[in-house]
């Protein structure tokens, strides 16, 4: 499940990398950065970013001997070289930054040029999103929504335990952390109103999710097993699929989410690779009913990732409002992708799969304000006295994710943040 790049005893010569709470040598997540308005691929190591274009140009790493894959503003060309090259690149990077391969460490001119301080760089969208599909894979979240919308005694739909439910989102509105989120306009209708009205959403919400990045293309008409699907996932990002609950509730019958879900989806800028997360695999929750063969797993594909969300009002201090874990997902990303392809749907490099809101089994572990405030009936009080049922203009939502396990070096995702801007 893991290789030498994950060994806890490995250290780096890069100052500050050893013991870094997010980006030690065992992580090496990929992203896109710029210093002088020229975006290219980088790898986070401690508080630095390794300029992969500079390393590629110097001949230290060449995933594709014929093509440049790092001096570009997206990870898609690198992902297209395939799983073997991903693994070789990770191993060679680990050796360069660990010092076993001294060509970077012993070349102060190259290392001085290739290692950039992260606080002096701008982070961009890490990959070009081909398609975006948002799943509904947390049973706790599904039960909470059913109770809120249909009553506490209403059961989940009969299909829920058998397959990961999903809807197609919009790749065009996936944005990188730090980008402002405009409050959407839409049709609203309160229960006592006879006709809908067009107005800014008053029910703006966050959704704490994990995003899987597909790095392998599949042809139309083919199906992926869960093991093949797991191998096709290049890595993972934190994902906030912002939701306008009032717009969503009016429009969702009979076809489901549309404008209440497609106005903005924020992802974290660093893609933590599947290889780096291998030591943190964990079994899924107990099954309530046997799965059909195409969704059965030969090994655990769930991930033990701690997740937290903090909320900060415009003039207040940030406060963590929820803490949960990705291990609660009833369907893993591999199962989501396998089911996505089960009908023969072609998958593309750069496809993004959102897990759906991840909620735990208690009020302090719910992954949305809709659940945390129980649809506004239990308001949250933030530091400074601000009270929230849903998000207000100027609010900042920040999501964090990290992995920690005995005998393993902790690794993290960084942050996924956005500030609510007024509607136009």
Q: Answer whether 118's CB lies under 8 Å from 47's CB.
A: yes
Residue 167 is a catalytic residue: no
Residue 196's contacts (CB-CB under 8 Å, 6 or more residues apart) are: 187, 188, 189, 250
Strands 233-240, 302-303: pairing kind: unpaired
| Number of CB atoms found within 10 A of residue 149's CB | 12
The DSSP line for 81-146 is: T-HHHHHHHHHHHHHHHHTSSTTTTT-HHHHHHHEEEGGG-EEE-SS----EEEE--BHHHHHHHH
DSSP structure class, residue 157? P
Catalytic hit among 141, 301, 339, 340:
141
Q: What would the two tokens of residue 39 be?
A: 């975006």
Strand-strand pairing, 233-240 and 208-214: antiparallel
Select from 239, 271, 274, 278 the least CA-distant residue to 368: 239
Helices (H), 332-423: 333-341, 369-372
Q: Which residues contact 226 (CB under 8 A, 6 or more apart)?
A: 294, 295, 296, 297, 298, 301, 332, 334, 335, 338
- Host H or E run for residue 253: none
Cβ burial, residue 107 (10 Å; 0-12/13-18/19+):
middle
Residue 383 near residue 240 (C-beta atoms within 8 A): no
Query: Which residues are catalytic, by number?
Result: 141
């Amino acid at each position: 499940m893991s290789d030498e790049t994950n060994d806890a005893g490995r250290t780096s010569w890069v100052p500050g990398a050893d013991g870094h709470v997010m980006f030690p040598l065992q992580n090496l997540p990929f992203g896109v950065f710029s210093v002088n308005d020229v975006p290219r691929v980088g790898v986070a190591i401690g508080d630095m970013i390794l300029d992969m274009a500079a390393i590629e140009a110097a001949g230290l790493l060449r995933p594709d001997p014929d093509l440049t894959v790092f001096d570009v503003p997206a990870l898609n060309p690198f992902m297209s070289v395939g799983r073997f090259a991903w693994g070789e690149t990770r191993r060679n990077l680990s050796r360069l930054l660990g010092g076993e391969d001294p060509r970077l460490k012993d070349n102060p001119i190259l290392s001085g040029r290739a290692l950039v301080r992260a606080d002096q760089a701008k982070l961009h969208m890490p990959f070009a999103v081909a398609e975006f599909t948002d799943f509904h894979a947390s049973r706790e979240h599904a039960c909470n929504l059913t109770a809120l919308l249909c009553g506490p005694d209403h059961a989940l739909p009969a299909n829920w335990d058998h397959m990961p439910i999903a809807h197609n989102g919009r790749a065009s509105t996936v944005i990188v952390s730090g980008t402002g989120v405009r409050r959407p306009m839409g049709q609203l209708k309160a229960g006592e109103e006879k006709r809908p009205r067009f107005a800014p959403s008053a029910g703006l919400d966050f959704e704490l999710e994990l995003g899987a990045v597909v790095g392998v293309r599949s042809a139309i008409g083919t199906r992926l097993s869960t093991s093949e699907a797991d191998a096709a996932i290049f890595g993972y990002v934190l994902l906030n699929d912002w939701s306008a609950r009032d717009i969503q509730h009016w429009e969702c019958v009979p076809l489901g989410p549309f404008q209440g879900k497609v106005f903005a989806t924020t992802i974290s800028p660093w893609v933590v690779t599947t290889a780096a997360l291998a030591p943190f695999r964990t079994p899924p929750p107990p099954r309530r009913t046997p799965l059909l063969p195409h969704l059965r797993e030969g090994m655990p594909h769930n991930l033990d990732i701690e997740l937290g969300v903090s909320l900060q009002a415009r003039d207040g201090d940030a406060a963590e409002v929820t803490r949960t874990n990705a291990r609660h997902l009833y369907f893993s990303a591999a199962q989501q992708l396998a089911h996505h392809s089960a009908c023969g749907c072609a998958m593309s490099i750069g496809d993004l799969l959102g897990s759906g809101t991840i909620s735990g089994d208690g009020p302090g572990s719910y992954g949305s304000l809709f659940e945390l405030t129980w649809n506004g009936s239990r308001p949250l009080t933030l530091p400074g006295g601000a009270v929230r049922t849903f998000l207000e203009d100027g609010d900042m939502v920040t999501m964090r994710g990290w992995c920690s396990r005995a005998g393993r070096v902790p690794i993290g995702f960084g942050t996924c943040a956005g500030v609510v801007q007024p509607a136009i």
